[in-house]
Chains A and B, each alone.
Chain A
Amino acid sequence: MKALITTWLAAALLMFGSLAQADLTIEITRGSDRATPIAVVPFGGGDALPEDVARIIHDNLARSGYFDPLERNAMFEQPTTRDEVRFGDWRALDARYLVVGTARQEGDGYRIQYELMDVNGERRMLGEVVTASDGELRGAGHYISDQIFEAITDIRGAFSTQIAYVTARGTGEDIRFVLHVADADGHNSQQILSSDEPILSPAWSPDGRKLAYVSFETERPAIYIQNLNSGERVRATSFEGINGAPAWSPDGRKLAMSLSKDGQPEIYVMDIGARDFQRLTDNSSIDTEPSWAPDGRSLVFTSDRSGGPQLYRHDLASGESERLTFTGNYNARGRFAPDGESLFLIHGGDRGYQVARQALDSGRLVVLSDSSQDESPSVAPNGTMVIFATQQGNRGVLGAVSADGRSSFRLPSAEGDVREPAWSPFLD
């Protein structure tokens, strides 16, 4: 996996400019009141390694909103194996789970041994030895985080995934737009494309190998599909007018999009292999921001056919569209939860534009974020978090909120605006 990334990165650099190492940092803004207490003890021998793997795990679990990891300075002792654990001490600290381990260099790489314990049951839930080559230490920390998260929550961890996003620096004619891919925790950011014309709407293919996006590099919008391994890319569409909002079908064979070649933005589905187009909507209003249902049988999209933007669902078999949102005057850019049972969207109301979730069966809409200029929600592949673009001061930053709204964090960039996050699928 990492080796592949290195390969495409080299290709991308040749084609698209220099590497800008501008990782995003994470600030947890709201901790969940229902988070489970866990202690991730510093790994024995970990001090000698270039990355603090136990810290990576601690931070991942904290960010998820599901866990409230114990601070290191509150730990009485630092066991590294199960035999050293005195469960009573950890019960006294209210830790329900405990992670201990060792980490050391071995040959050209690293060997990490970890164990997950249920403190009340005084039993080992997981134990594993993970080897990592040079440069893969963070990846190993994410892998272990995924194992721990799933063992306790029964939900697949999404810490080994990535996010794509766009940064913009400068103003007026001097704006520089850069499309990046980084680890889900904001580290290891890599530049995919740099342009002095807008880049927006990155969308991951379901296999995680390609990004579709809109670039204005020819001074008009076109949709491109770029292979992240090879750096190769093709221009998928460059019709007159808007070429926007690409969205992959779950089988990866089709791309839904918004095209205004016939006068106003309509939803089309492009068969990528055959390069033919099926038009789904036909009216004089705006139809854009399509998103596929996980079963591939329907799409949601934004339309202002009722006067303002609302979400509609188009059933591919019947060809019929039905309106889904009725709360307030502005509901746009819907994205399905992975289970297909709810939508994440941008809801405009008295408090500005916020990330909200609407259950499809009840139609009930709940605002999740506490910011006011939110855009571009993108759902983690395990459905636990939504990442979105928002404002902090006068600067664009990425925010994330748990699917229940109980916890949130921000990923500010050191420089410039960050926007248009897209959470990758599971990468394996």
Chain B
Amino acid sequence: MQLKPYAKCLALALSLAVLTGCASRGGSEDGMAGSADGSRDGAAGTDTSRSGQVSGSRMGDDDARQQADTRIPDVRTIYFDYDSDAIQSEFEPVLTSHARYLRENSSASVVLQGHTDERGTREYNMALSERRAGAVERFLNVQGVSSSQIDVVAYGEERPAAQGNDEDTYAQNRRVVFAY
């Protein structure tokens, strides 16, 4: 549970495209302590390799500050373990960034597209993929996003991201996509 406040902080920082720390944002509704600063946090070292995924912004500081709340987070896919709808901790920052975007843009809405790999029967996989998208929806709800902003479409194994019969391919296909 230590990760969540940090993750929020990191996500926010990345969405600003500058690692200035959450405190500099001021007026945060996250309830995070002002001293929580991603760049100084001891946990940061282990997660910096993923921050590239979460960020990807090339905007200048001023643009970033003005557009932070209106820009849809860049990373829009999270992945799942086999036969699991558990959200892996490494993807919590991604979810948190989307939660923040949706909270601060109440007119925005997202379709959570659930997917499975191709193993097993199609209609059962349809149900599993809905469960994955549902897990993401609950996570967003807990983070204060209104259900009216979220729609879920379960695709099962019908729309694979990658083709093949190996674990790498399967792993790429077990996913939930944020479609805005």
Contact = CB atoms under 8 A, between A and B. Distances in A.
25 contacts: A172-B161, A201-B122, A219-B153, A241-B152, A242-B126, A242-B127, A242-B154, A245-B123, A265-B130, A289-B121, A289-B124, A302-B121, A302-B124, A304-B124, A332-B124, A333-B121, A346-B121, A348-B120, A352-B119, A375-B122, A376-B122, A391-B165, A394-B164, A419-B122, A420-B122
Interface string B106-145: 0000000000001111111011101100000000000000
B126 A309 contact: no
A286 B131 contact: yes
B160 interface: yes
A260 to B, nearest CB: 6
Contact of A260 (B119, B130, B156): B130
B63 interface: no
Interface in A372-393: 373, 375-376, 391
A378 B122 CA distance: 14
A200 B155 CA distance: 11
B50 interface: no
Contact of B121 (A171, A260, A332): A332
B163 interface: yes
A420 B118 CA distance: 13
A220 interface: yes
A345 to B, nearest CB: 9
B25 interface: no
B159 interface: yes
A271 B53 CA distance: 50
Interface in A309-339: 309, 330, 332-333
Contacts of A375: 120-122
A216 B155 CA distance: 9
A385 B77 CA distance: 42
B47 interface: no
Contacts of B120: 309, 330, 332, 346, 348, 353, 375
Contacts of B119: 348, 352-353, 373
B165 A394 contact: yes
Interface residues of B, number: 24
The residue among B123, B154, B158, B159 with the most chain A CB atoms within 10 A of its own CB is B123
A128 B119 CA distance: 49
Main secondary structure of the interface of A (DSSP, over half): strand
Which are the 3 A-B pairs with shortest beta-carbon distances? A198-B158, A286-B127, A245-B123
B76 to A, nearest CB: 14
B158 A394 contact: no
Interface string A408-428: 000000000001100000000
Contacts of A216: 153, 155, 158
A281 interface: no
A289 B123 contact: yes
A23 B163 CA distance: 24
Interface string A243-287: 011000000000000101000110000000000000000000010
Interface string A344-388: 001010001100000000000000000001011000000000000
Contacts of B156: 200
A260 B127 CA distance: 8
Contacts of A289: 121, 123-124
Contacts of A220: 153
Contact of A200 (B122, B124, B128, B153): B122
A171 B160 contact: yes
The residue among B126, B131, B152, B165 with the most chain A CB atoms within 10 A of its own CB is B126
A266 to B, nearest CB: 10
A221 interface: yes
A125 interface: no
Contacts of B128: 286
Contacts of A198: 155, 158-159
A193 to B, nearest CB: 15
A175 B119 CA distance: 19
A288 interface: yes
Interface in A177-194: none
The residue among B152, B159, B165 with the most chain A CB atoms within 10 A of its own CB is B159
Given A220-B153, A353-B119, A333 B124 contact: yes
A396 to B, nearest CB: 9
Contacts of B153: 216, 219-221
Contacts of B164: 394
A258 B165 CA distance: 28
Contacts of A264: 127, 130-131
Contacts of B124: 286, 288-289, 302, 304, 309, 332-333
A172 B158 CA distance: 10
Contacts of B160: 171
Contacts of B121: 289, 302, 309, 332-333, 346, 353, 375-376
Contacts of B122: 200-201, 375-376, 419-420
A352 B118 CA distance: 12
Contacts of B118: 373
A276 to B, nearest CB: 23
Nearest to B128: A286
A198 B152 CA distance: 16
Nearest to B163: A171
B161 A333 contact: no
B123 A244 contact: yes
Contacts of B163: 171, 394
Interface in A155-214: 171-172, 175, 198, 200-201
